[in-house]
């Protein structure tokens, strides 16, 4: 690929855009130079173009691993609107006939883009089909899902490094909007591209206004919604996120019956036709409010969403910023409002308890596969669930652990059996220390979410620091805390306005440490500074997660705290 290609001309010809968004051209040039790339671009920064344009310019078929079926549908619809039809998506919604036709199209090698779920790439027969194609580019979208530290961990993502190797290591492009420094390192390690330096662009979204409202009861939350819709959100378009399906119905009913606002509900248990209907109604603005679980939103590229409200506490800053970042993609001021009740942590803690295996559960799964080792086609995921009565997510994590450790293998699509080297061996030694670490790590991320709610400092600074970016302005002017300080300063008779905001009370976070500094703690060992606030420092310790400590509890000198 000639590197002197006119990318702006190619952009106009294939997609009709006049210019690139920040970071896009840099990522595309690196991909065309056949350099493995990890790109962390802010929500709404146009990540999909970073692989769609190269796919048009490179010979062969680009493979895109995408976590959600709705996201695939959006991408294919957008490509079709641009006149690009040499694409296909393989997912669980296809009928047998549709899947057969899609596989025939793929095997001919004439497609430019193939979208697949990570689970599909666990099918060895399908990987064999891909191995016969010329694949210049392998894309992992929402790449934080590959990380054991990610907020949206998907066990099947652990298999992708092996698939990349099986395909002869095409150029790898990993894309995400939510990756802390620890997650970035995990992504490149898991994908087998450890020397890749990330491209990080534009986490700051100046037009997003961050607000938190403290509530004691659900009635308080509903009153906060009433106040918002009677004020700045009247007739505006937006999303309300809840943590449970039950709350989607409770909130939508309140909006309709008490406030006269027509609102649709969206969650993973809806029939596909209903999910498609809600999605289409929102995109066409036939309904202006969708009350949804986190199943709604990935790939929603609607520029004029004026608000994103979280009715319940999210489980992490990553989850929150990804969902809140769907607001204001047209650059106009938009509200990100979080309704916070401390008891909401119970729901998130309940979700966490269902995710992590213990030794006994791993032994039960492995023992069951040993028991049915004589079956030619292995044991299906459905049968394992019936036999073991384990939550689906936990079972998938255990199977991914066992597969990654070389103890089991996929026999056919969706079935599992013992790996050849294990057959006949009754012994299993599997170290679950990494998952115990992950449990405490996710608990600490929930604690960081609580810190965000409780902080009296700049919320924008809090978020940017969390993702490893400095923010040096005294006052962002677009969060409730900063605006409150501006209002207090303006009301002070001593405050003199000269058209420039001065004499505003600073955050007072001058500190001995900067973001990224390596420090040591007597109990937790070595860690990396994530943020500072007054006399406190938040440090990420690899084996313990985030810890907020008094500043004199850590030191740059390992010997000083020994």
Task: Kindly give, in sequence order, each residue whose CB lies less than 8 Å from that of residue 484, ignoring residues fewer than 6 positions away.
Answer: none
At 3, the pLDDT band (50, 70, 90 cuts) reads low
If 0-12 CB within 10 Å is exposed, 13-18 middle and 19+ buried, where does residue 70 land? buried
At 414, the pLDDT band (50, 70, 90 cuts) reads confident
Q: What is the rounded radius of gyration, in angstroms, for the C-alpha atoms of the chain?
A: 25
Q: Is residue 175 over pLDDT 90? A: yes
Look up residue 443 and give its two tokens: 């608990």
- Write out 157-192 in H/E/C secondary structure: HHHHHHHHHHCCCCEEEEEECCCCHHHHHHHHHHCC
DSSP 204-246: --TTEEEEEEE-SSHHHHHHHHHHHHHTTTTT--EEEE-SSHH
Q: Is residue 470 over pLDDT 80? A: no
Average pLDDT over every residue of 271-278: 90
Distance of CA 523 to the CA centre of its chain: 31
At 171, the pLDDT band (50, 70, 90 cuts) reads very high
Given this model, what pLDDT does residue 502 score?
Answer: 40
Given this model, what pLDDT does residue 473 score?
Answer: 86
Task: Give the best-scoring range by mean pLDDT among 118-122, 225-229, 356-360, 494-498.
Answer: 225-229
Quote the percentage of the chain above a pLDDT of 90.
Answer: 40
Q: Is residue 55 over pLDDT 90? A: yes
- Write out 323-356 in H/E/C secondary structure: HHCCCCCCCCCEEEEEEECHHHHHHHHHHHHCCC
Across the chain, mean pLDDT equals 85
* Residues present in the chain in total: 562
C-alpha span between 558 and 414 (Å, rounded): 49
Given this model, what pLDDT does residue 133 score?
Answer: 95
Q: What is the pLDDT of residues 352-409, one digit of tens each?
A: 766 667 778 888 998 899 888 888 788 999 999 999 999 887 888 888 878 877 788 8
Look up residue 104 and give its two tokens: 């025939």
Phi, psi of 40 (to 5 degrees): -110, 105
Q: Is residue 299 over pLDDT 60? A: no
If 0-12 CB within 10 Å is exposed, 13-18 middle and 19+ buried, where does residue 170 land? buried
Q: Is residue 349 over pLDDT 60? A: yes
Q: Is residue 527 over pLDDT 90? A: no
DSSP one-letter code for 479: B
Given this model, what pLDDT does residue 446 score?
Answer: 86
At 287, the pLDDT band (50, 70, 90 cuts) reads very high
C-alpha span between 250 and 254 (Å, rounded): 6
Q: What is the pLDDT of residues 69-116, one digit of tens each?
A: 767 877 888 888 888 888 988 877 788 888 889 899 999 988 999 999
At 431, the pLDDT band (50, 70, 90 cuts) reads low
Q: What is the pLDDT of residues 475-506, one digit of tens each?
A: 999 999 999 999 988 877 555 444 444 434 44
Task: Kindly give, in sequence order, each residue whose CB lies less than 8 Å from that of residue 229, ignoring residues fewer than 6 positions away.
Answer: 255, 259, 261
Q: What is the pLDDT of residues 190-220, one digit of tens each?
A: 899 988 888 887 678 899 999 999 999 999 9
């Amino acid at each position: 690929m000639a590197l002197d290609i006119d990318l702006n001309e190619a952009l106009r010809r294939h997609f009709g855009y006049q210019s690139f968004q920040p970071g896009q051209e840099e990522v595309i040039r690196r991909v065309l130079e056949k350099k493995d790339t990890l790109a962390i671009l802010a929500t709404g920064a146009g990540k999909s173009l970073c692989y769609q344009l190269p796919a048009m310019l490179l010979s062969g078929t680009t493979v895109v691993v995408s976590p959600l079926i709705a996201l695939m549908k959006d991408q294919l619809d957008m490509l079709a609107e641009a006149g690009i039809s040499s694409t296909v998506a393989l997912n669980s919604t296809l009928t047998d006939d549709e899947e057969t036709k899609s596989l025939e199209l793929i095997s001919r090698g004439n497609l430019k883009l193939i979208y697949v779920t990570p689970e599909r790439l666990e099918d060895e027969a399908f990987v064999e089909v891909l191995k016969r194609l010329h694949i210049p580019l392998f894309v992992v979208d929402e790449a934080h899902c590959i990380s054991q530290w990610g907020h949206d961990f998907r066990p099947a993502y652990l298999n992708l490094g092996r698939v990349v190797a099986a395909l002869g290591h095409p150029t790898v492009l990993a894309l995400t909007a939510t990756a802390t420094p620890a997650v970035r390192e995990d992504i490149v390690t898991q994908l087998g591209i450890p020397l890749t330096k990330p491209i990080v662009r534009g986490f700051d979204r100046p037009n997003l206004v961050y607000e938190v409202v403290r509530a004691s009861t659900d009635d308080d939350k509903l009153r906060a919604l009433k106040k918002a819709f009677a004020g700045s959100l009247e007739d505006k378009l937006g999303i309300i996120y809840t943590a449970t399906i039950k709350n989607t119905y409770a909130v939508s009913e309140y909006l309709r019956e008490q406030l006269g606002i027509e609102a649709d509900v969206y969650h993973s248990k809806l029939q596909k036709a209903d999910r498609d209907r809600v999605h289409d109604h929102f995109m066409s603005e036939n309904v202006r409010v969708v009350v949804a679980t986190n199943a709604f939103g990935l790939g929603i590229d609607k520029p004029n969403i004026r608000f994103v409200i979280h009715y319940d506490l999210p489980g992490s800053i990553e989850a929150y910023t990804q969902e809140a970042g769907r607001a204001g993609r047209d650059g106009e001021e938009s509200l990100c409002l979080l309704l916070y009740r401390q008891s909401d942590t119970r729901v998130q803690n309940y979700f966490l308890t269902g995710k992590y295996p213990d030794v006994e559960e791993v032994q039960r799964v492995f023992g069951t596969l040993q028991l049915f080792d004589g079956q030619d086609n292995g044991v299906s995921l459905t049968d394992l669930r019936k036999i073991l009565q384990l939550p689906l997510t936990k079972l998938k994590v255990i199977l991914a652990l066992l597969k990654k450790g070389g103890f089991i293998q996929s026999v056919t699509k969706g079935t599992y059996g013992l790996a050849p080297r294990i057959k006949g061996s009754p012994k299993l030694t599997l170290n679950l220390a990494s998952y115990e670490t992950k449990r405490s790590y996710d608990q600490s991320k929930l604690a960081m979410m609580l810190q965000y709610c409780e902080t009296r400092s700049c919320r924008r600074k809090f978020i940017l620091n969390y993702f490893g970016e400095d923010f040096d302005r005294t006052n962002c002017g677009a969060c409730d805390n900063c605006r409150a300080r501006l209002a207090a300063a303006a009301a002070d008779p001593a405050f003199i306005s000269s058209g420039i905001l001065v004499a505003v009370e600073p955050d007072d976070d001058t500190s001995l440490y900067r973001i990224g500094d390596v420090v040591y703690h007597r109990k937790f060992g070595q860690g990396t500074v994530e943020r500072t606030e007054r006399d406190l420092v938040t440090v990420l310790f690899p084996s313990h997660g985030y810890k907020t400590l008094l500043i004199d509890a850590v030191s740059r000198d390992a010997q000083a705290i020994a």
